[in-house]
Amino acid sequence: MTLSTRRQAKRAARRAARRALPRWRRLLPTWRITLGALTTLLLLTVGAFAVLYVIVPVPDANAHAVAQNNIYLYADGTTEIARTGAVNRTDVTIRQIPLQTQHAVVSAEDRTFYQNRGIDLKGMLRAGWNTLTGKGMQGGSTITQQYVKNYYLTQDQTIERKGRELFIALKVDQQRDKNDILAGYLNSSYYGRGAYGIQSAAHAYYGVDVSELDVAQGAYLATLLQAPSLYDVRTATPANREKALARWNYTLDGMVQLGFLSATERAATTFPEPTDPQPATGLSGQAGYLVGVADDYLVSSGIIDAATLKAGGWRITTTFDKPRQDAFVKAVQDELTDELDPKARPTTDTDVRVAGASVEPGTGRVVAVYGGPDYAKQPYNDALRQDNQIGSTFKPIDLAAGLVAQHTLDGRPITTESHYDGTSERPVTGGPTPYAPPNEDDIDYGDITLRYAMVKSVNSVYAQEGVDAGLARVRQTAIKLGIPDSVRGMDPANTSMTLGTATPSALDLAGVYATLANHGQAHTPWSVAKLERVNPGGAIDVPKMPDHTPTNALDRDDADAVTDVLRDVVSPRGTGAAALDLGRPAAGKTGTTDANLSAWFAGYTPELATTVGLFRENPKTHAKEPLSGTAGLTRINGGTFPTKIWTAYMTAALDGTAVRQFDLQSQPSRNEPTFGPGPSATTTPSSSATPGPTSTTPAAGTGGLGGLGGLGGGGTGGETPGGTAPTVTAPTHPAPSSAAPDPGTPSHAPEPSPPAPQPTPTHEQPSPTAHPTPTRTTPQPTATSATGTPAAKPPATPPTQ
């Protein structure tokens, strides 16, 4: 019998034997069929697993997993200003996490983490069995699987998501180091109290950076991973507190079993009570304004773009000094807010707003800003807005430009002691547009020096001096000193530019005065000292910060000469007299604008330059409203509330520092008394800005300011009313004579200043408005913008808002 025949015989015998079995038995498969089926199934399973392993990719991280907040810190690098972003998370590297905290997490969540391949089949089977046998729902996921779920997938409880989690975990374990996986897990996990990531958790529960966690604290944060909300012992029920303590003990015991902690250390470890939950650090109070200034600097200077900044994860150390910031807020409260009574004076004491900034002259560091009372209630940063005219705080720029020019239109040099005609409403000669600004209370000062004109803020003098210096040069000087070239109101085609139609922000203006204080060396104000971000892979981004090298905006002699004059403004007879209460050397300038729409004081000591602006704005329409009547005062000038706020802030900001004198390169020759003749002086100057033969100029509406058409985007040129008579007479040729008197021979003897007719307490100049003094009747001006288009009112919505 052949081999084939024998096989056929055996098969026939097996079939016969099977047919002899009972029917029910014949329905069961034979062992051969069973083995074959199992083998086939196994092969199919392995094949399917291999195919799925290949085709299931490791996806990009989900948006929530990579979302982080930005953390803003004061200049000390530790005191927090605010956190921004929808997710409270700050990634850290594995090196920043204490090793004992890492081990505590492994002990609590996955004791085979360092040995497994990303999944733990035994753990999954054990968890499934415990769940089936009534021991409660248990998870068998490894740390790698939980990381994959947090970082790449979602929290959906589906078979499809669980399957993808398993394959991705296997791949991630093959592709990434265990420390990277652990860091990713710790940074992506939720710990309760709104804290994502272990760094945020360390702050939320213990108020420290993750690097400062001790063994007990790290074990508690590891405990929270199982049930974050339930295991917060400060808010948990008694039962849940017991569960949390049991889990904490389980974690520590596991560390001993795994060799991470000695039994002696374990016995000495006591439970670390966390702090009470704290409200999230938001943008209320001054925080939002400070964040706005920092963000504006980072983006505008090109350090990072807005999208990168918004992506989050940045730790931003600013230049803001917390004690000085607090002092600014207190100064506004004490000197202004406490004086307002909105209930008694609802039409004048409401919607009063303050813009302020403080800059170190030698470095350009912004140490404090005041953007409003509370960002949560007023989310507009008044410190950055560029829609308020600065009035006579622009006059030092006129003077600086004149000193740079070294000559007037008739070729004679301009000095701080040059003589000009201070007659109120004296028409400016040589300007591109007709302009005849009145002085405060229509005072005629006669022949006075530029120094004295600055002390009294005489508009007629500086309107002419700016034209003599050259309006293009005035604009160029303003830009070099720190006013952005994009602000409105600096058009050399408008004569009114000389008296402050420009609209820089309070921070811009502080930079200008800081440049004067720094002897003409200009720093663009900067507000961020350090910037860094930890990426998910552990790499740290540290963008390059600017070097802050100063530029030479003004020669030292010229800058120091301006400072010398501005020191006289802060004197008993200057418009900045209220700043004398500072009790140390100071220089500054007041400013009040058209229709009393804003009032300013900008000043400095050798150590600090600060500006304070005051205005009112309708919160719904954003239209500017007059300050007249605020706190019961008829007129609000720069020498009142702005100077008082400045003085109170500077007193606190400089408290404890040594008194410094101004180190001026050269003292300008004072051939005139420091304070020139008073109003309506009758001296006969040897060289003066006296008008020559006259001719009639066009009536109002031909392009001038105030009664002459109101140039300058709001119709302001300084601290006096912009309205003048419909027709004026003007010289046919330049009249001012700027030749300095012979050394040691004053052009007229010192003469006391007679009382000014109805002066304000601070001798501040009134706002350039179409409301004249009783002795003159003038029409309401029609303001025009720098381009000649009507712009009597500021835009309904300020550009910065």
Q: What string of DSSP letters covers 257-285?
A: HTTSS-HHHHHH----PPPPP-----STT
In this model, does residue 56 exceed pLDDT 70?
no
Cα of 757 vs its chain's centroid, Å: 45
- 3-class secondary-structure state, position 464: helix
Q: 747 or 23, which is more confident?
A: 23
In this model, does residue 265 exceed pLDDT 90?
yes
Q: Model confidence at 194, in pLDDT bands (50, 70, 90)?
A: confident
Q: What percent of the chain has pLDDT over 90?
A: 55
Query: Dihedral sign, CA of 228, 229, 233, 238?
Result: negative
Q: Model confidence at 769, in pLDDT bands (50, 70, 90)?
A: very low
Instruction: Please check whether residue 677 is in contact with residue 447, taking contact to mean a CB–CB distance below 8 angstroms.
Output: yes
Q: Average pLDDT for residues 605-619, to the nearest whole number?
A: 95
Q: Average pLDDT for residues 167-194, to the nearest whole number?
A: 86
Choice among 56-65, 186-195, 273-282, 475-484 with the minimum mean pLDDT: 56-65
What is the rounded CA–CA span in Å between residue 408 and residue 540? 58
Buried b (16+ CB within 10 A) or exposed e, 556-593: eebbbbbbbbbbbbbeeebbbbbbeebebebbbbbbbb
Q: What share of the chain is helix, strand, coil (3-state, %, to 5)?
A: 40, 10, 50
Structure-token match 């409270």, residue found: 88
**Any long-range contacts for 472-479 (C-beta under 8 Å, 24+ apart)?**
473/401, 473/404, 473/405, 474/397, 474/398, 474/401, 474/498, 476/401, 477/397, 477/400, 477/401, 477/404, 477/553, 477/554, 478/394, 478/397, 478/401, 478/502, 478/512
In this model, does residue 149 exceed pLDDT 90?
no
Instruction: Please check whether residue 389 is in contact with residue 597, taking contact to mean a CB–CB distance below 8 angstroms.
Output: yes
| Nearest CA-CA partner of 642 in 609, 601, 680 | 601
| Nearest CA-CA partner of 70 in 369, 317, 289 | 317
What is the rounded CA–CA span in Å between residue 79 and residue 98? 23
Task: Give tens-digit pLDDT for 216-232.
Answer: 999 999 999 998 878 99
What is the rounded CA–CA span in Å between residue 642 and residue 661? 24
In this model, does residue 417 exceed pLDDT 70?
yes
In this model, does residue 686 exceed pLDDT 50?
no
Residues 6+ apart with CB under 8 A from 760: 440, 635, 637, 639, 766
What is the rounded CA–CA span in Å between residue 247 and residue 268? 17
Q: Average pLDDT for residues 719-744, to the nearest whole number?
A: 33
Q: Average pLDDT for residues 40-55, to the nearest whole number?
A: 60
Element (H, E) at 129: helix 121-132
| Model pLDDT, residue 721 | 32
Main-chain phi, psi angles of 182, to 5 degrees: -65, -40
Q: 280 or 527, which is more confident?
A: 527
| Model pLDDT, residue 127 | 57
Beta partners for residue 617, in sequence order: 624
**Any long-range contacts for 265-271 (C-beta under 8 Å, 24+ apart)?**
265/215, 269/215, 269/216, 269/219, 270/216, 271/216, 271/220, 271/245
Q: 790 or 195, which is more confident?
A: 195
Q: What is the CB neighbour count within 10 angstroms for residue 732?
A: 11
Task: Give tens-digit pLDDT for 267-310.
Answer: 999 999 999 887 665 788 999 999 999 999 998 899 988 878 88
| Model pLDDT, residue 714 | 35
In this model, does residue 182 exceed pLDDT 70?
yes
What is the rounded CA–CA span in Å between residue 367 and residue 320? 4
Here the tokens at position 130 are 């415990």
Q: For 527, which DSSP code?
A: -
| Model pLDDT, residue 677 | 42
Cα of 599 vs its chain's centroid, Å: 23
| Model pLDDT, residue 458 | 97
Instruction: Please check whether residue 356 is in contact with residue 332, taking contact to mean a CB–CB distance below 8 angstroms.
Output: yes
Q: Average pLDDT for residues 243-254, to the nearest whole number?
A: 96
Task: Give tens-digit pLDDT for 92-139.
Answer: 999 999 999 999 999 999 999 998 887 777 766 665 566 555 544 445
| Model pLDDT, residue 360 | 98
In this model, does residue 790 exceed pLDDT 50?
no
What is the rounded CA–CA span in Å between residue 615 and residue 617? 7
| Model pLDDT, residue 119 | 79
Element (H, E) at 170: helix 159-175
Choice among 272-276, 453-457, 537-541 with the minimum mean pLDDT: 537-541
Could you write out the DSSP letters of every residue in 142-162? -HHHHHHHHHTS-----HHHH
| Model pLDDT, residue 684 | 31
Q: Average pLDDT for residues 427-447, to the nearest whole number?
A: 94
Q: Is the pTM of this model over 0.85?
A: no
Instruction: Please check whether residue 624 is in contact with residue 795, taking contact to mean a CB–CB distance below 8 angstroms.
Output: no
Q: Model confidence at 363, in pLDDT bands (50, 70, 90)?
A: very high
In this model, does residue 5 exceed pLDDT 90?
no
In this model, does residue 768 exceed pLDDT 60?
no
Task: Give tens-digit pLDDT for 647-667.
Answer: 999 999 999 999 999 999 865
Residues 6+ apart with CB under 8 A from 97: 183, 186, 198, 210, 211
Q: Which amino acid is at 723?
A: G
Q: Is 417 exposed, middle or buried (0-12, 13-18, 19+ CB in 10 A)?
A: buried
Instruction: Please check whether residue 634 is in contact with residue 628, taking contact to mean a CB–CB distance below 8 angstroms.
Output: yes
In this model, does residue 207 exceed pLDDT 50?
yes
Choice among 187-201, 459-473, 684-698 with the minimum mean pLDDT: 684-698
What is the rounded CA–CA span in Å between residue 454 and residue 463? 12
Choice among 50-54, 165-169, 206-210, 473-477 with the minimum mean pLDDT: 50-54
In this model, does residue 525 exceed pLDDT 90?
yes
In this model, does residue 438 exceed pLDDT 90?
yes
Q: 664 or 698, which is more confident?
A: 664
| Model pLDDT, residue 277 | 83
Q: Is 110 exposed, middle or buried (0-12, 13-18, 19+ CB in 10 A)?
A: buried
Instruction: Please check whether residue 213 is in contact with residue 98, taking contact to mean a CB–CB distance below 8 angstroms.
Output: yes
What is the rounded CA–CA span in Å between residue 509 and residue 784? 23
